[in-house]
Amino acid sequence: MEIRLFTGNAHPDLARRVAEALGVPLGQALVDRFPDGEVRVRLLESVRGDDVYLVQPTSPPVNDHLMELLLLADAARRSSAARINAVIPYFGYARQDKQTQGREPVSAKLVASLLERVGVHRVIAIDLHAPQIQGFFDIPVDHLSAVRLFARYLKEKGYTENAVVVSPDAGRAEEARRLAERLGLPLAMLAKRRHGPRETSVTYVIGDVEGKRPLLIDDIVSTGGTIRRGVEALLAAGALPGIVVMATHAVLVGEARGNLAHPAIGEVVFTDTIPLRDGGYTVLSTAELLAQAIRHVHTNQSVSALI
């Protein structure tokens, strides 16, 4: 059973780098649009009896890229692939993992059901916004983390001197703790209050940040408003400027770039789970991490060793 990699239009550059890291060619597929806007998909190579991996983050435009992924999976299933693995570096709809008000859908669960329905056997993702999304699936989910990528970069740049790792909220506390342990640094957390789906405020800082450089780690930066308010709260608590902001997924909509241009932010570091069209930020590659996960899945080795 051979490894076969295919991708849609979400992030072909990342898919090519994953293929290079694995030492396999990227499969040929037609992923286009009909004149009325419907997605058109056709695999241009046989996948009968193969272990197929579809590398496709569901990044903006989320619905287009999700539909491409679903149709690629359906095409692989109808072409008699032995296994279909959805490699989704950024899992869109992950923030809609519960009902925050009455009469709302649980959209993340719906996406999980759609992936299973079209024949996906396994999902590989990086830093799900809500880890409990793994429980929305009745198929295996390998949940990777970018923490080791950030830890290695911070050490290389010498940012660990007189520093403190900061979680932007309770939801990211576990990832921040793991980063702090890798670096041998103290941990702090921002107490955040949510006023609606788009509005948050930082009420206070938990932990000692006075006289230290904060290393602020998050999973998603969307508008960057939470980051800006977090930076201001850290400065008010006596933290040093030159704050390093890290996030796995650079969604970057609205006023994100303005918020990330705060003068107290020394560097912004993202991974390449979502393609960044403009420069100005440090981008760490996830290609080797994804390639290792694919290799371990294909050879029935443990993936938890990569976390």
Hey, which residues are catalytic here? 192
Measured on CA atoms in the order 299, 301, 306, 307, is the torsion positive or negative? Answer: positive
Please list the residues that pair with 290 across neighbouring strands: none
DSSP string for 143-211: EE-SHHHHHHHHHHHTTTTTEEEEESSGGGHHHHHHHHHHHT--EEEEEEEE-SSS-EEEEEEES--TT
Find the helix or strand (DSSP H, E) in which 30 lies. strand 29-33
> CB–CB of 104/121 below 8 Å?
no
- With CA atoms as reference, report the closest residue to 148 among 122, 123, 127: 127
d(CA 192, CA 180): 20
d(CA 167, CA 224): 15
Q: How far is CA 168 from each of CA 92, 172, 240, rounded to the nearest angstrom?
A: 20, 7, 17
Max Cα distance, the chain (Å): 61
Please list the residues that pair with 17 across neighbouring strands: none
d(CA 258, CA 161): 28
Output DSSP code: residue 104: -
DSSP string for 127-145: S-SSGGGGGG-SS-EEEE-
